[in-house]
Structure 1
Amino acid sequence: MGTDTGTDSLASALASSSGVLFDFDGPICHVFRGLPATLVARELSQAVAEYDPTLSAKTEGIEDPLEILRLSQQASKRLVLATERTLQEREIEAVAVAGDPTSGASSAIQTAYASGRGVAIVSNNSEQCVRAFLNRHGLLSYVHVIVGRPEHQPERMKPHPYSVRRAVQALDMRAEDCALLGDSVTDIEAAHAARTKAIGFANKPHKYEALRAAGADAITSSMSAVAEALA
């Protein structure tokens, strides 16, 4: 599978974009490849349940650490801060053992930068772990802006458009001149809400239909194809 035209083809969606915003987990890095997300989620779930037993049933069995962070809001600000701190520590540990960037991702970032476009990372992961990974793989100097998870405000994680809008503003561009590339429906929803173009990265077969149904302007299964389109 290469690209799906949707409203625009991948090439035209990127050709009309002076700013490219990349989601991190998926398009750039498999964050929990070396340190499984299920283990991190279990640790966070146990801590949340100990702090507030009423949340125990809600967190049990959840395998996404970010969802545990969202649920921590139902208790107190103190629990949000503690959960956030532990999650950030685990994310930094995770990217250190995550292996190489997603195939084609380095080329996509470097090509976007070389083309004179504004390059941003917009992630629900912490800025610190994104920065650590990019630095480890020699990509930090090719990225103009990093907008990570809003600190102490998990309710503003994607699909909320807050982080996308921050990145667009930091690049000093208009939203309609930017494109967000991400591998989840929440990325597409955030892009639409922020009024940027939305490009889906279907890194797993089942994602293609979900991204299409969410209204992605283009869909690709290859970061190398993104690099080629940017060139």
Structure 2
Amino acid sequence: MTDPSHSAAGLLDNVRCLLFDFDGPLCGLFAGHPAEVVAERMVAWLEERGLDFYAGAAPTDPMEVLRDAGHKLGEQDVARLEEFLTGEEVAAVDAAEPTPDADRVVRALAAGGVRLAVASNNGRAAVAHYLDRRGLTAYFGDRLHGRAADPALMKPHPDSVRRALRSAGTAPAEALMVGDSATDFQAADQLGIPFLGFAKSPRHDLALRHAGATHTISAWRPLLTALAPA
């Protein structure tokens, strides 16, 4: 992985807005409320209402269950399932693990005049709840953008990233997106936004680079070093 602080510093040149993905760069949302369990509960919710469409094994990723529902179910049923997932995500916040140094990076960026926003496939309510618990809400204001009602608009579709960029009043070339998945890179790339991959493991780093990301970090420390006063 490429962790040198000078590389991170170079990406920050002329950046007026930093767009965070939520689960990963800011916290481990499902650390104490496993995503696999949430996916199982979503499938059970579908079964209880006679809406189950899986003939075989269902996905263990809640987002994949929601995506599949978007293809198989009507708008009202999808909206109800999305509401159920949002409730699970909000509950997960209480046991979420903050990503080391993420809070410090948020404060350092804000102190340097960088506008901050979130563009996430998670529900906005979960993002807002987490930031409130961490005392970080003021740094983001209302620039919190979760998934739209239509699952087809989740990343890699650029919808949430575009909304975040507009709310910050920033041009793509003056922004930097930080995300931990190929879909984050793809969404940013479609809008011409520079991208920094947050890869917690060699496997994540490989996936990001395979998608096209050229800059990755494995922790926030290099960016903190770059942000430190000279």
Shared fold per TM-score greater than 0.5: yes
RMSD across aligned C-alpha pairs, in angstroms? Answer: 1.9
1:125-204 paired onto structure 2 within 5 Å: 125-144=122-141, 145-150=143-148, 152-204=149-201
Question: CA offset at residue 61 of structure 1?
Answer: 3.2
* Counterpart residue number, 2:53: 55
Query: Cα deviation per residue 1:67-113 (whole Å; 9 max; x = unaligned)?
Result: 111111121112211111110100000011114x1001001111111
The runs of 4+ residues in structure 1 deviating greater than 6 Å are none
Identity %: 36
- For 2:150, give the aligned amino acid: Q
Distance in 2 (CA, whole Å) between partners of 1:4 and 1:194 is: 26
Is the 1:16–1:177 Cα contact (8 Å) retained in structure 2? yes
Of 75, 78, 103 in structure 1, the residue corresponding to residue 76 of structure 2 is 78
SS of the residue corresponding to residue 55 of structure 1 reads coil
How many residues end up aligned between the 2 structures?
A: 226
SS of the residue corresponding to residue 202 of structure 2 reads coil
* Counterpart residue number, 2:42: 44
Change (3 A) 1:83 1:198: same
Q: Which runs of 5+ in 2 are unaligned?
A: none
Question: CA offset at residue 52 of structure 1?
Answer: 5.1
* Counterpart residue number, 1:28: 26
Of 115, 139, 142 in structure 2, the residue corresponding to residue 118 of structure 1 is 115
Distance in 2 (CA, whole Å) between partners of 1:48 and 1:4 is: 47
Query: Cα deviation per residue 1:149-196 (whole Å; 9 max; x = unaligned)?
Result: 11x211111110111111111101101110100000000001101210
Change (3 A) 1:48 1:110: same
Distance in 1 (CA, whole Å) between partners of 2:107 and 2:17 is: 13
- What TM-score do the two structures reach when normalised by structure 1? 0.91
Query: Cα deviation per residue 1:188-209 (whole Å; 9 max; x = unaligned)?
Result: 0011012100110011221111
Distance in 2 (CA, whole Å) between partners of 1:210 and 1:129 is: 26
The answer to whether structure 1 residue 3 and structure 2 residue 6 are counterparts is: no
Change (3 A) 1:141 1:52: same
